[in-house]
Chain A
């Protein structure tokens, strides 16, 4: 099912949660709403579900306005951040809930309910825990029960609020992969809210970056990562060096030397140069001087656990983070205190905010 969101506004007292948001969710895609807390992403999700009401604007499902459809009639699967499992019901009864509360005419026979729930529990790999209570389950298991419960009513759209927020790192990674596979099998339009950029980039077909109740950028993970719309997106997608420089006659300069940048340069004046750590190119420092167009830096610390080495450099008083492969590191024979040359493979420049 496709969802069209048009100029949706929502305020809570003096706080603007959504300031006129428009978005098209394509049928069958897995969409991430990514943003810091207070950016309005959860509010948008709740408005789609019908749990909150927009002050203005409209949300339509396959072209049909949803204004007069109460949450219970929307056939939306919602997975809550803290799962909201019914604590006095077993896993089985939790999953069966949505089927048992249907109106008599639509309610499947108890035998069909049983079959359907068994099927769902098999799918989420929890058949052996059907008679347990939620308090007897681990976080990851609760999450999967919540998912099975939401899927039981065969929703047209699946909404997940910070689905992995309360889980530890290992479980989170596994569940993420598992959810991706599940989505590939079922092709149900899904929207999940997250503040974790890694999660959004890894899992989603498209990412919607939000801030202060506005959508800043919509695109595939590669698009938003490689071509961030502004400095906020660049910053929020993580791991970035910000270097204070200037723009002079349309050229970005750092310590007087020109920096090759992608995209528009902008008006002259103070500017911030954004470089991702893996876009920092290090070289062996020559015996004397600095090569044309490069900078010189000293290694201030070095972390070489795992396949990627992380270096912190001192570039004329600025801290600069760089990432390179362990092989490259050993080629360069760098250690704490040694000097090297610095160049930037890709950089972006944005005017400095006054």
Chain B
């Protein structure tokens, strides 16, 4: 039988039934595992009304946790921005001994359990750790204090920027930089005018992801923070404490704020992608 010339089914593609089933399955999965919990967080937070919700958020301990989380992110993200760019620049543009070792080290925070990462800092800087006595003598407290929380967060979020940039920079090669140098640009001019614009979108994604993780990190921070209310509690830790005290409304209120931050991050990423679609496409060419 000759094919119907009007059916125009693409060569690669399935019938409408298969397509419907696949899309349906994906949506069902997303609803069950992503959307439903999100809805649950917000509905639990508002279970006793807006008043109770706001009251749990303005509680001094909650405010302190929010402040600490934002502070930690404000320190960890810029640090990893600089480290990430430097590391990927070195890996993508130069050949040197120990390059693969550096690559493996960058992946370390991803492959090691966050609890271990936290424990390492306790072993190093805790009272009975390698540097503990010296730090105590000089009146510096890292473990069970804000510096420890910051350090653990920096460690855990280290790969996000570098991992985003390395493949991008490797793909782009060094020809643009060579062109700039031959035209008389200095190293800094080359970086600022050529390299940075070439990687800005990858860098932005890396920073957004890094930020999301910095605010949400639980395991490593939990080990080093000591859970001191109003002092070393970050938002995720505060959520756990409230939950363990059966204070569900307060726990979910703080949790909803965390979820909201994540949603805002995602929305910002999507908005930027939409706004600068042309430039992103051009950068990839």
Q: How many residues of A contact B (CB 8 A)?
A: 30
Contacts of B178 in A (CB 8 A): 51, 71, 78, 80, 84
Q: Is residue A87 within 8 Å, beta carbon to beta carbon, of the partner chain?
A: yes
Whether A87 pairs with B189 at a CB distance below 8 angstroms is: no
Question: What residue of chain A has the Cβ atom nearest to residue B194's Cβ?
Answer: A86
Cα distance, A351 to B134, chains bound together (Å): 82
| Given A88-B197, A88-B283, A135-B282, 10 more pairs with CB closer than 8 A | A50-B182, A70-B181, A71-B182, A72-B186, A87-B282, A88-B279, A97-B193, A98-B184, A149-B179, A153-B183
Contacts of B181 in A (CB 8 A): 51, 70-72
Question: What residue of chain B has the Cβ atom nearest to residue A70's Cβ?
Answer: B181
Which single member of B189, B281, B283 contacts A101 (CB below 8 Å)?
B189
Q: Which of B227-285 contact A (CB under 8 A)?
A: 279, 281-283, 285
Nearest CB of B to A218, in Å: 26
Whether B285 pairs with A97 at a CB distance below 8 angstroms is: no
Q: Is residue B180 within 8 Å, beta carbon to beta carbon, of the partner chain?
A: yes
Which single member of A49, A75, A101, A150 contacts B180 (CB below 8 Å)?
A101
Cα distance, A86 to B183, chains bound together (Å): 12
- Please report whether the interface of chain B is mostly helix, strand, loop or mixed according to DSSP: helix
Contacts of A82 in B (CB 8 A): 175
Using C-beta atoms within 8 Å of the partner chain, give the interface range for chain B.
Answer: 20 to 34
Which single member of B182, B197, B281, B282 contacts A78 (CB below 8 Å)?
B182
A-binding residues in B (CB < 8 A): 175-176, 178-186, 189, 193-194, 197-198, 279, 281-283, 285
Cα distance, A293 to B193, chains bound together (Å): 71
Which single member of B180, B186, B197, B283 contacts A97 (CB below 8 Å)?
B180
Contacts of A97 in B (CB 8 A): 180, 183, 185, 193
B-binding residues in A (CB < 8 A): 49-51, 70-78, 80, 82, 84-88, 97-98, 101-102, 133-135, 149-150, 152-153
Whether A72 pairs with B185 at a CB distance below 8 angstroms is: yes
The 3 closest A-B pairs by CB, nearest first: A98-B183, A84-B179, A84-B175
Whether A101 pairs with B184 at a CB distance below 8 angstroms is: yes
Which single member of B175, B182, B193 contacts A76 (CB below 8 Å)?
B182
Contacts of A101 in B (CB 8 A): 180, 183-186, 189, 193
Question: What residue of chain B has the Cβ atom nearest to residue A77's Cβ?
Answer: B182
Which single member of A77, A80, A133 contacts B282 (CB below 8 Å)?
A133
Whether A87 pairs with B198 at a CB distance below 8 angstroms is: yes
Q: What are 25 pairs between A and B in contact, CB < 8 Å?
A: A71-B178, A71-B182, A72-B182, A75-B184, A76-B182, A80-B178, A80-B179, A82-B175, A84-B178, A84-B179, A86-B179, A86-B194, A86-B197, A88-B282, A97-B183, A97-B185, A98-B183, A101-B185, A102-B184, A134-B282, A135-B281, A135-B282, A150-B182, A150-B183, A153-B184
